[in-house]
Amino acid sequence: MFKRILIANRGEIALRVIRACRELGVETVAIFSEADRGAPYLELADEAICVGPAKAADSYLRIDRVISAAEIGNVQAIHPGYGFLSENSHFAEVCRSCDIGFIGPTPEAMERVGDKNSARALAREAGVPTVPGSQGIIGSEQEAVKVAREIGFPVLLKATAGGGGKGMRVAANDLALASAWQQASAEAQAAFGNPGIYIEKYIERPRHVEIQILGDQHGNVFHLWERDCSTQRRHQKLIEESPSPRLPQAIRQKMADAAVRLAKTANYFSAGTVEFIVDQQDNFYFIEVNARIQVEHPVSEMVTGIDLLKAQIRVAAGEKLDLKQEDIKPRGHAIECRINAEDPAHNFRPNPGRIDRIIAPGGFGVRWDSHATTGYVVPPHYDSLVGKLIVHQATRKDAIDTMIRALKELRIEGIKTTVPLHLEVLANTAFHEAQVDTTFVERMLAG
Amino acid sequence: MFKRILIANRGEIALRVIRACRELGVETVAIFSEADRGAPYLELADEAICVGPAKAADSYLRIDRVISAAEIGNVQAIHPGYGFLSENSHFAEVCRSCDIGFIGPTPEAMERVGDKNSARALAREAGVPTVPGSQGIIGSEQEAVKVAREIGFPVLLKATAGGGGKGMRVAANDLALASAWQQASAEAQAAFGNPGIYIEKYIERPRHVEIQILGDQHGNVFHLWERDCSTQRRHQKLIEESPSPRLPQAIRQKMADAAVRLAKTANYFSAGTVEFIVDQQDNFYFIEVNARIQVEHPVSEMVTGIDLLKAQIRVAAGEKLDLKQEDIKPRGHAIECRINAEDPAHNFRPNPGRIDRIIAPGGFGVRWDSHATTGYVVPPHYDSLVGKLIVHQATRKDAIDTMIRALKELRIEGIKTTVPLHLEVLANTAFHEAQVDTTFVERMLAG
Amino acid sequence: MCAAPTPGDIFDVKKVRRLIELMKEHDLSELDLKQADNRVRIRRGGEVVAYSAPAVSMPRPAAATAEPAAAPAPSAADARMLVIKSPMVGTFYKASGPDSAPFVKVGDRIGPEKTVCIVEAMKVFNEIPAGVSGQVVAILVENGAPVEFGQPLIKVDPEA
Amino acid sequence: MCAAPTPGDIFDVKKVRRLIELMKEHDLSELDLKQADNRVRIRRGGEVVAYSAPAVSMPRPAAATAEPAAAPAPSAADARMLVIKSPMVGTFYKASGPDSAPFVKVGDRIGPEKTVCIVEAMKVFNEIPAGVSGQVVAILVENGAPVEFGQPLIKVDPEA
């Protein structure tokens, strides 16, 4: 096991790693930017090193500074958390060349699953279904129509260089496709300087279901079943739960098996997530792999009883996972609400600032993962996550009741948070009936 | 289900009941003494009624005042918590005569298990082993010697009116018995005005193991396995855990079955605890029944996933328990540390006062049950429990590591607490090896 | 307290009073003055009003907590008022029956033995004696309303 | 300062009033003055902002948090000092090699272009220019010691 590791992250995930290390008897070196100086979680690390100014590009994202900190901190490995450098295969390579362990997959596995095209190829190789679509860029309107007819309308046009919804259009028939093609192409050219467009089957009201995997360096890959992250706002996950409430057991098993196959094909180890979308007929399609620990990992920890962070550190140190797939059984139901410093009354704009008072909820079935304490200042430079409230109860109904109770008990004074939005979702009949897809929150807010 | 209940208690257990009720959608009326006025947990109740001055005998223990509060609060039932009126069968009777539900067993069952002699008779009837001893008061030194020889030395002499160690003597042979008999009898006369003495087999270095039971009003009684509460200081439980680390599975099963038999024989329903002592050869002997929810109930909740408080309220309202004994399987290992406002440096004398700052630990496997917040004043009038820290992990080793991590993360400023004592116990080799009996803490502190 | 407190005497009540007035005026929550071994520390809004020498007695902080939405600065008349509080939890009745005259009404002069109301608890009708002398200024609870322990029932002016 | 209260009498109410007005004006939530054994500490609202000298400039509270074991009240000389801080994380070297003379030593007069030390990061030896002019007063880090971003390395007196 490592004697000392560096945590190349901040906030709640840095605290999560510190906690895991303290339990493992591993010393920790935290890094921080000037904006995070004095943050209370840093006191729980054995050492804390300032790596730069507030701007992430000059601190948390600077590979040279992080590596220097690892060197002066005299650590054997780096935990990247999520975000920042966590899925940067170059960083993982630099760690290797500096003889510093990287707590995550190999750079090769990361690249294999990280690139869109190679990930789709990988899925095909592993026999994992992907969303039907064109093999690459569509050259003409005629070709678009031909492909669309093959895969069946409605179809989605996507910019190959794209992101953030730019250059995206849905078309329900030949006629609509013609104008959508022109618009999408023009928009892509304007936004990304690249008019390349590809076509995919459009999945209406999909659910977002992902499989947590965990592998070691001895060829073992396990799955910890699924998380349903369909409750999103503008593609940002709001509420995650496990098990997925409407998923038939046979589909659940098929998805889990597919995820393990895919990870094994990529020689993937450590924690990772294989994301799928599920259509209304329970067909599932591979989307992407997140080659890191995820924000919502606690719901899987609650239902399986497995500490993912400790497991991740142990396998990075070369330990063999002492698990059997048949023993990993979900128990009860877990839900996580992401509490963000955002103002629901002003279109959820970030609301950083000083927390005058915070009282965390407690009691049976309640877990609170947060780096915020009374007096903590949420800096404006990073994501707005203030804490994660996780509940675990025997049934989904009980879990919802406990979550509502805990959200009402949580007091955060001084800044606005997403708590009211969570309460609105949890009171919604559609949510209770698990009639949730990725469009649910927007429809709820609109209606 | 009840629409509204009254909580005839204070502090953390009042908060525990409020939380359960909020999750069940049951309104709560809290009562409080003048010493507890303004306590933050009262804000979470739907109504709070002052029932008297600080002195418990004039407030929380006054049946008439509690019943009056229930009447003006317009409740259908009363939850008594633990301590105070929780095991007062007269109070349960008054509730019944006032047509107010009592969230606990019937007064008859409570009396049957509450009285020492009838409980021993009950155990014999249910075929549950008790500590071998005299059938009642010993009339003479000669009789004492005869009984002691029958049950085998060493023996324990106990005052029939006694408690708190007064009038107790251990004798290892005939000679010692003679003088012990005279001393114990004289001491009992002086302390209780009653010289009556009985004799029991003296169990050296016993473990305290108890079985959690849960029954409904339809004849179902289940057990939630055991808790080991051997880590005690002066007969006060400090640390409780489940499962009991050294108990052979066959014995565990026998004890659980015995507890269920005993409860069924007494027509006992609601939550309850059957306490046993276990000798060094794993023989177990029934001691007593606690006819209420117990301080340490969370450890059973964590390993079984069953919310005992909610179940207790549901069965009091007449609901049938939707459980199967074979599905109640302990998962992982849970430990609870009682954090008391006591000064370890001054022989654990109570240390009430203002909590200038409290930061509760969080993260995976950690549960914090506490009514204390920053600024809360621990009143000097009641027990010194400030909070209960409970951890749940896959193994006992992991649970100990998480508990140490959480204890070090917990910050309570302004008052002294038992945290250092807990850390000392958890670092002790004997505790790690589970070589713990009820004399362990005193031996540790002495040596 | 002598006539001319020395400049270093932090326990000059007038000075402390002025400090407190200053705090109230500016809505301060804490004030902490220390000089060599001397220290004055005053906090407002919650609990502690304390200072560290056994000088003039300060009112118990608990009382402030007890009535959080308490009256604004009481007038001199208010200050002398006596309040008859409920000695138990129950239901308040101002008369012995629906058709009876109330035990007391505003303006009545009463003595300590005078029954001023009934608090019913567990079907027992408890007659509550005034315990004080004076003139009834206000009856603070509606007939038939529930009352808790210590709840003010009747206001009495002992000097009227 | 007027004659009546002794200069050391921090319990002068007028003085405190002026401090509070100062706080309101600057929207301070806490004020903490300490001089030898004397101390004035005032909080408003609940927020904490502390400063250690009743002087003119109001340093950002973050700075106070940043250096928890920070220096006592700085003297006037201290106040004018400039500090050359490390622009990166790495290892500090005062010379280009074990046998070379140090880039600077106490008493040297330096200009902005002058290399004052090396900070090694990832096997790269980065020469750090002074960036300021003045006389070297102190070298704050041992040769070969690790330094973090923003860590003070060398103290320079610009007026000497």
The answer to whether residues C27 and C83 belong to one domain is no
- Say which residues have a Cβ less than 8 Å from residue A212's Cβ, sequence separation at least 6: A223, A224, A225, A226, A227, A271, A272, A273, A294, A297, A300, A308
Q: Do A307 and B367 touch (CB under 8 A)?
A: no
Q: Do B50 and C88 touch (CB under 8 A)?
A: no
For the segment C114-139, what is each residue's pLDDT rounded down to a tens digit?
Answer: 999 999 988 889 999 999 999 999 99
- State phi, psi for D125 to the nearest 5 degrees: -95, 105
What is the rounded CA–CA span in Å between residue A327 and residue A433? 30
A40-49, B116-125, C149-158: least confidently modelled range? B116-125
Q: How many CB atoms lie within 10 A of CB C105?
A: 10
B98 close to C (CB below 8 A): yes
In angstroms, the separation between the Cα of residue C65 and the nearest Cα of chain B is 7
Q: Across the interface, which of C46, C62, C89 has its CB nearest the CB of B69?
A: C89
**Rounded percentage of chain B residues whose pLDDT exceeds 90:** 86
Q: Which amino acid, one-letter code, is at A104?
A: G
The answer to whether residues C79 and C38 belong to one domain is no
Instruction: Locate B422 and state its tokens.
Output: 């807990």
Q: Do B332 and A305 touch (CB under 8 A)?
A: yes
In a domain, D63, yes or no: no
> Which chains have 3+ CB pairs within 8 A of B?
A, C
Q: Across the interface, which of C48, C90, C149 has its CB nearest the CB of B52?
A: C149
Site from D141, D149, D151 to mutate, A interface, most A CB atoms within 10 angstroms:
D149
A285-289, A436-440, C156-160: least confidently modelled range? C156-160
Q: Do B49 and C89 touch (CB under 8 A)?
A: yes
What is the rounded CA–CA span in Å between residue D43 and residue C26? 11
pLDDT at D22: 63
Residue B263 has pLDDT above 60, yes or no: yes
Q: Do C34 and D45 touch (CB under 8 A)?
A: no
For the segment B190-216, what is each residue's pLDDT rounded down to a tens digit?
Answer: 888 888 888 999 999 999 999 999 999
* Contact residues on chain B for A394, CB-CB shorter than 8 A: 305-307
Which residue of chain A is at minimal alpha-carbon distance from D146? A72
Q: Do B367 and A369 touch (CB under 8 A)?
A: no
Instruction: Locate A58 and state its tokens.
Output: 């000059």
Q: Across the interface, which of B59, B68, B375 has its CB nearest the CB of C121?
A: B68
Q: Do B69 and C122 touch (CB under 8 A)?
A: no
Chain B from 144 to 173: CB within 8 A of any C CB = none
pLDDT at B188: 85
* Contact residues on chain D for A73, CB-CB shorter than 8 A: 146
pLDDT at D44: 62
The answer to whether residues C81 and C148 belong to one domain is yes
Do the Cβ atoms of D153 and D147 come closer than 8 Å? Answer: yes
What is the rounded CA–CA span in Å between residue A298 and residue A390? 7
A58-72, B98-112, D49-63: least confidently modelled range? D49-63
Give the Cα-Cα-Cα angle A372, A376, A380 (nearest 5 degrees): 95
pLDDT at B235: 86
Rounded to 10°, the helix B396-409/B419-427 angle is: 150
For the segment B370-419, what is each residue's pLDDT rounded down to a tens digit?
Answer: 999 999 999 999 999 999 999 999 999 999 999 999 999 999 999 999 99
Q: Give the residue numbers in D contacting A (CB under 8 Å), as ranges.
A: 46-48, 62, 65-66, 68, 88-91, 121-122, 124, 146-151
More confident residue, C46 or B317: B317
More confident residue, D13 or B26: B26
- Indicate the pLDDT class of residue A189, thresholds 50, 70 and 90: confident
pLDDT at A138: 87
More confident residue, D75 or B39: B39
Residue D107 has pLDDT above 90, yes or no: yes
B148-162, B168-182, C9-23, D47-61: least confidently modelled range? D47-61
Catalytic residue (choose from B10, B120, B292, B338): B292
Q: Give the residue numbers in C contacting D (CB under 8 Å), as ranges.
A: 7-8, 10, 15, 18-19, 22, 26-37, 39-40
The answer to whether residues D105 and D151 belong to one domain is yes
Q: Do A362 and B373 touch (CB under 8 A)?
A: no
Alpha-carbon dihedral A213, A216, A219, A224, rounded to 10 degrees = -20
In a domain, C129, yes or no: yes
- Say which residues have a Cβ less than 8 Å from residue D29's Cβ, sequence separation at least 6: D23, D43, D44, D45, D46, D47, D48, D49
Average pLDDT score, chain A: 95
More confident residue, B303 or C71: B303
Q: Give the residue numbers in D contacting C (CB under 8 Å), as ranges.
A: 5-6, 8-11, 13, 16-17, 20, 24, 30, 32, 34, 37-46
**Rounded percentage of chain C residues whose pLDDT exceeds 90:** 44
Q: Report, in angstroms and rounded to the nearest whole number, the Rg of chain B calculated over CA atoms.
A: 22
Which stretches within B29-173 are classed as H helix? 63-73, 89-97, 107-114, 116-125, 141-151
For the segment D37-86, what is each residue's pLDDT rounded down to a tens digit?
Answer: 556 666 665 433 222 222 233 333 333 333 333 344 556 677 789 999 99
- Say which residues have a Cβ less than 8 Å from residue C143's Cβ, sequence separation at least 6: C92, C93, C94, C95
The DSSP symbol for B153 reads: S
> Mean pLDDT over residues A242-255, rounded?
97
Residue C106's SS3 state is: coil
Instruction: Locate B412 and state its tokens.
Output: 């309570």
For the segment B286-313, what is each residue's pLDDT rounded down to a tens digit?
Answer: 999 999 999 999 999 999 999 999 999 9
Long-range contacts of C23-29 (CB under 8 A, 24+ apart): C26/D20, C26/D24, C26/D44, C27/D44, C27/D45, C28/D20, C28/D42, C28/D43, C28/D44, C29/D43, C29/D44, C29/D45, C29/D46
* Contact residues on chain B for C146, CB-CB shorter than 8 A: 49, 72-73
* Contact residues on chain A for D47, CB-CB shorter than 8 A: 354, 356
The answer to whether residues C38 and C79 belong to one domain is no
Average pLDDT score, chain C: 72
Q: Across the interface, which of D20, D34, D45 has its CB nearest the CB of C29?
A: D45
In a domain, C67, yes or no: no
Q: How many contacts (CB atoms, under 8 Å) link A and D?
A: 61
> Mean pLDDT over residues A118-138, rounded?
91
The answer to whether residues C87 and C151 belong to one domain is yes
Which residue of chain D is at minimal alpha-carbon distance from C45? D45
What is the rounded CA–CA span in Å between residue A155 and residue A171? 5
> Mean pLDDT over residues A304-315, rounded?
98
> Mean pLDDT over residues A185-207, rounded?
88
Average pLDDT score, chain D: 72
Which residue of chain D is at minimal alpha-carbon distance from A69? D89
**Rounded percentage of chain A residues whose pLDDT exceeds 70:** 99
CATH (domain of C91): 2.40.50.100
A411 as an active site residue: the answer is no
> Mean pLDDT over residues B76-97, rounded?
97
- Indicate the pLDDT class of residue D2, thresholds 50, 70 and 90: very low
Q: How many CB atoms lie within 10 A of CB C108?
A: 16
Give how many domains chain C has, as a whole number.
2
- State phi, psi for D87 to the nearest 5 degrees: -85, 5
Q: What share of chain D is helix, strand, coil (3-state, %, to 5)?
A: 15, 30, 50
**Rounded percentage of chain D residues whose pLDDT exceeds 90:** 44
* Contact residues on chain B for A374, CB-CB shorter than 8 A: 357, 374
Q: How many contacts (CB atoms, under 8 Å) link B and C?
A: 60
What is the rounded CA–CA span in Å between residue A316 and residue B393? 21
In angstroms, the separation between the Cα of residue B153 and the nearest Cα of chain C is 54
pLDDT at A198: 87
Q: Across the interface, which of D8, D38, D42 has its CB nearest the CB of C28?
A: D42
pLDDT at B9: 98
Site from D89, D120, D151 to mutate, A interface, most A CB atoms within 10 angstroms:
D89
Closest CA to D154 of D112, D121, D125, D123: D112
For the segment C21-61, what is each residue's pLDDT rounded down to a tens digit?
Answer: 777 666 666 666 666 556 666 665 533 332 322 223 333 33
In a domain, D34, yes or no: yes
pLDDT at A135: 79
Quote the domain boundaries for residue D16. 7-43
Q: Do C15 and D17 touch (CB under 8 A)?
A: no
A327 close to D (CB below 8 A): no
The answer to whether residues D38 and D92 belong to one domain is no
Which helix (H) or strand (E) segment holds residue B220: the answer is none
B292 close to C (CB below 8 A): no
Q: Do D89 and A53 touch (CB under 8 A)?
A: no
Catalytic residue (choose from A292, A314, A338, A367): A292
Q: Across the interface, which of D24, D40, D43 has its CB nearest the CB of C29?
A: D43
Give the Cα-Cα-Cα angle A318, A322, A328 (nearest 5 degrees): 130
- Say which residues have a Cβ less than 8 Å from residue A68's Cβ, sequence separation at least 6: A51, D88, D89, D90, D121, D122
The DSSP bridge partners found for residue D134 are: D110
Side-chain half-sphere of B284: how many Cα atoms within 13 Å? 27
What is the rounded CA–CA span in Å between residue B278 and residue B333? 20
A355 close to D (CB below 8 A): no
For the segment A69-79, what is each residue's pLDDT rounded down to a tens digit?
Answer: 999 999 999 99
Which residue of chain A is at minimal alpha-carbon distance from D48? A375
In angstroms, the separation between the Cα of residue A19 and the nearest Cα of chain B is 7
- Say which residues have a Cβ less than 8 Å from residue A39's Cβ, sequence separation at least 6: A10, A11, A32, A371, A376
In a domain, C117, yes or no: yes
In a domain, C138, yes or no: yes
pLDDT at A257: 98
Average pLDDT score, chain B: 95
Residue A232 has pLDDT above 70, yes or no: yes
